[in-house]
Chains A and B, each alone.
Chain A
Amino acid sequence: MTTSINARKVLSDNGALGGLLVLVVALSVLAPSFLSTQNLLNVGVQAAVVAVLAFGSTFVIVSGGIDLSVGSVAALSAMVGAWSSTEAGLPGPLALLLGLATGVVAGLVNGALVSYGRLPAFIATLAMLSVARGLTLVVSQGTPLATPDVVSELGSNLTPFLPVPLLVMLVFFGLTAFVLTRTYQGRAMYVIGGNEEAARLSGIDVRKQKLVIYALSGLFAAVAGMLLAGRLASAGPQAAVGYELDAIAAVVIGGASLSGGVGRASGTLIGALVLAVLRNGLNQLQVSPFWQQVVIGVVIALAVLLDTLRRRSTR
C-alpha cells in the first residue's frame, strides 16, 4: 500500500520518469539486446556528456536565463586542455585545469554581459557560441588534437562495470542537487527565476548571483567537454556542435520551465537519459536515418506534453 503511494508520488513528482519507463519497456520488447547490463551501461556513458552540460544549464534555466554557448564552450575548453599539453608541453593535470578555467572564464563573460551589460541572455550566449567555436578553430587550426592521459582516463573504465563518464555524471548530479537545494546560491536561482525584481528587493545581489550562475554553467560545460574528449582521446574542432540544444531539451524534458523558477537535478538527469535511451534504441532498431530526427523530435514534444498534462491534473 505505502509502496504504491510512494511510487505514485515519485511518478507525479517526475513526469519525465514515466516517459523514460515507457521508452525502456517499449525498447526492451522491440530490441532483445537493449536490456543487457552492458547496453544499459553504454546508455549511461552516452548520456554523460549531455547530462553534465544539462546540469549546468539547469542552474541557468531555473534562474530564468538560457545558455546557448555550452556546446562551443565544451569544445573550446577541451581544445585548450589538449593544446596546452600536446602543443605547449604543459603537464597533463595543469592542462586539464587550464581547460576547466577556460570554461569558467567563458561563463563569467556570459554572466557579465547578461548582468552588467544588460544583454538578453539569449544574445549574450549566442555571441559566445560563435566566439568560442571560432576560438576552438583558431587554437586547433582546424585539426583534432590528442588529449593528455589524465583527460583520456576520464573516458575509460575504472573496472569493466564502472565507466568513468558514468561516475562523473553521478557526481555532478549530486553536486547539482546539492547546489540547488542546500545552498544560498541555489535558492537564489529559484527566487531570481521566479521574479527577478522581487529577488532584488528582498536583498539578493542579482548581478553577482548571475555571474555565479553562468560561471557554473561554463565550468560544467568544460567538464562535459573533457568527458567528450576523453572518450575519444582527442579534442575535435567540430566536437559538441548542437549539444546546447540537447542540453536544453534534457532540462525541459526533466520538467523545468523555460520561464524560470522551476527545475530539478533529478528531472534533468532523467531528461538526458531519455535522449540517450532514444538514440541507443533507434540504432538498435535500425530506424532509417531520415526518420530518426523525426522520432527524436516527437518524443521530446510528447515528454514535455505528458509533464504539462500531469501538472494540470494534479492541480
Chain B
Amino acid sequence: MDFPRKVAVAALSASALALTAACGSGATGSGGDVTIGLAVSTLNNPYFVELKQGAEEAAAELGVKLTVVDAQNDATNQVNQVQTFATQGLKAIIINPVDSKQATPAAKAAENAGIPLVAVDRSVDEGKVVSEVASDNVQGGSLAAIELGRATSGEVVHLQGIPGASASRDRGRGFEQGLNSGGIKVVASQPADFDRAKGLDVMTNLLQANASIKGVFADNDEMALGAIKALGDKAGTQVQVVGFDGTPDGLKAVEDGTMTATIAQQPKVLGRKAVEQAVKAAKGEAVQQVVDVEVKVVTKKNLAEFKK
C-alpha cells in the first residue's frame, strides 16, 4: 500500500541529489588537487558576479579547483557556509564578507581548522586573515565627491545604499570627507538600498522637493542608473550623476554621457588577486598581507581602459 509513495519519495530525493551534484560540479573549476573555497556575499548583484568570474578565471589558469557558495547577503548563512568549508578539507578559503563586523565567527572556524583565510572586497574586523584583497571604499567615496565637485557646483543629493551595510557606511563617509574640496552642498541624503527601481523612485521624490539639484552621488551604479531614469534629459546636462562600481551598465551610461563618472572597483581583479593569494597560502608560500586594488575614477576620457 505504502510502497508507491516510498518509491516516489526515493525517486524524488535521488533526483534532488543528482540535481545538486550537477549544480555543484558547475560551480567548481577544472583539474588539480588543491581545492579552494570562495564564500561570496551575494550573486544577486552584477558586481559580485564579476568578482566570482575573475576568481574562476584565475583558478582555471593556476590549475586549482574552486568551490563557490553564495550567502545571499545573510551573514549567518555565510558563517554556516565557511564552517562547512572548514570540514571539507579545503586548502584555503576566500571570504567576501557580507558584513565586516559579522565575519568573526567565520574567521574563527577557518582558524580552528588550520585553513588559511583570505578576505576579499571587504575586510574581516576581528579574526586571523592571511591576506586582505580590497579596494578602499572610503577613498572611493572621497574621489566621487571630488569628481562631482569638479563637474558641477551647487546643491546635490546623496543616494545611500542599504542603511548600516558596510559599503554604504564607508562610501558615505568617504563622500562626506571629500565634500569640503568643491563647491557642492548635500541637501538630501536618502536610502535606495543599492536597488535600481528604488533609485528611480527616491530620485523622483527628491526632485519634487528639490527642483534645483545640480548633482547626484549614488553609493552604487544600480541606484545611479535609477536616478538617471528619473532625471531623463537632465541627466548629464543640467544634473551630473556620479555612481560607484563600474558595472557594465554603469560604464555604458558613462559612454552615453548620462553618467558623469563612476568609481571603478575592478571586481574581476579583486577575485583574481584573491585566488592568487589563496593558492600561495595553500602551498605554504609567502603571501602579501594587504593587496590594494586601486579604485579609479572612470569618465568618458579614460573609458576605453575599463570597457571589456
- Name A's B-contacting residues (CB within 8 A): 31, 33-34, 36, 38-39, 42, 46, 49, 137, 141-144, 228, 231-234, 236-241, 279-280, 283-284, 286, 289-290, 292-293
A231 to B225, CA, bound (A): 12
Decide yes or no whether B127 CB sits under 8 A from chain A: no
A289 touches B204 (CB 8 A): no
User: Quick one: closest B residue to A49, CB to CB?
Assistant: B197
* C-alpha gap A142/B44 in the complex (Å): 6
Asked if B34 lies at the interface with its beta carbon under 8 angstroms from chain A, I say no
Q: Is B163 an interface residue (CB 8 A)?
A: yes
Interfacial chain B residues near A39, Cβ < 8 Å:
205, 208
B43 with A283: CB separation less than 8 A: no
23 contacts between A and B (CB under 8 A): A36-B208, A42-B204, A49-B197, A137-B43, A137-B44, A141-B49, A142-B48, A143-B248, A143-B249, A144-B46, A231-B197, A231-B229, A232-B197, A232-B225, A234-B225, A234-B249, A236-B197, A237-B44, A280-B205, A284-B208, A286-B188, A289-B191, A293-B163
| Residue of A with least CB distance to B249 | A144
Residues 176-201 of B contacting A (Cβ, < 8 Å): 188-191, 195-197, 200-201
CA distance A49 to B196 in the complex (A): 14
Closest-by-CB residue of B relative to A238 is B44
Q: Give the A-binding residues of B (Cβ under 8 A).
A: 43-46, 48-49, 160, 163-164, 188-191, 195-197, 200-202, 204-206, 208-209, 222, 225-226, 229, 247-249
Tell me the bound Cα distance from A232 to B188 in angstroms.
23
Chain A residues with Cβ below 8 Å from B208 are 33-34, 36, 38-39, 42, 284
A39 to B209, CA, bound (A): 9
Given A142-B49, A232-B196, A289-B191 in contact, is the A284-B201 Cβ separation under 8 Å? no
| A142 with B43, Cβ < 8 A, contacts A236-B222, A239-B197, A286-B190 known | yes
Nearest B-chain residue to A146, judged by Cβ: B249
With A38-B208, A232-B229 as contacts: A143 and B46 at CB distance below 8 Å: yes
Q: Are A283 and B190 in contact (CB under 8 A)?
A: yes
Residues in B with CB closer than 8 Å to A239 are 195-197
- The listed residue (A31, A36, A231, A289) touching B200 by CB distance below 8 A is A231
CA distance A117 to B240 in the complex (A): 55
A144, A241, A283 — which one has the most chain B CB atoms within 10 A of its CB? A283
Instruction: List, in ascending order, chain B residues with CB within 8 A of A241's CB.
Output: 44, 195
| A232:B160 contact, CB within 8 angstroms | no
CA distance A99 to B49 in the complex (A): 24
B residues within 8 A CB of A141? Answer: 49
Residues of B within 8 A of A289 (CB): 160, 163, 189-191
Instruction: Specify which chain B residues have a CB less than 8 angstroms from the CB of A284 in the assembled complex.
Output: 205-206, 208-209
